[in-house]
Amino acid sequence: GRILRGMPPGPVCIIGGDIPGVRKGHLVKAFKVLGGHDAVFGPAEDGGFWLVGMKRVARPPAGLFRGVRWSTEDALADSVASLPGCRVGFCDRLRDVDRAADLVG
């Protein structure tokens, strides 16, 4: 939430550094989805997310990411729930790397 609040107004997407399969087309699609929504998430296969984006025409909600059970299968659902009243869209589901075994696959 702090990163999203600290940037100048306008659309922004933030991605994790542990997404080996991410390509330019995934980011293009995320911004297209964001065009029709207030926020966008790129779901990860483990229940988390590899990307979060917001239009940021107004300051992000104070409760953004409050109560999120990080590093669990509920992280994405909790994050979406922290945005009541926002139109949330989703882009491609990708795999993130949490353990060495995740690199193979």
For the entire predicted model, the pTM comes to 0.88
Tell me the C-alpha distance between 3 and 19, whole Å. Answer: 19
Tell me the C-alpha distance between 60 and 50, whole Å. Answer: 19
**Helix and strand numbers, DSSP H then E, in the chain:** 3, 4
Burial class, 91, CB count within 10 angstroms (exposed 0-12 / middle 13-18 / buried 19+):
buried
Give the model's pLDDT for residue 59.
76
Low-confidence residues of the chain: pLDDT under 50 = none
Give the model's pLDDT for residue 101.
55
* 78: helix, strand or coil: helix
CATH of 2-103, one of 3.90.550.10, 3.30.300.30, 1.10.287.1260, 3.40.50.12280: 3.90.550.10
Give the model's pLDDT for residue 2.
79
Give the model's pLDDT for residue 62.
83
* Spans of all domains in the chain: 2-103
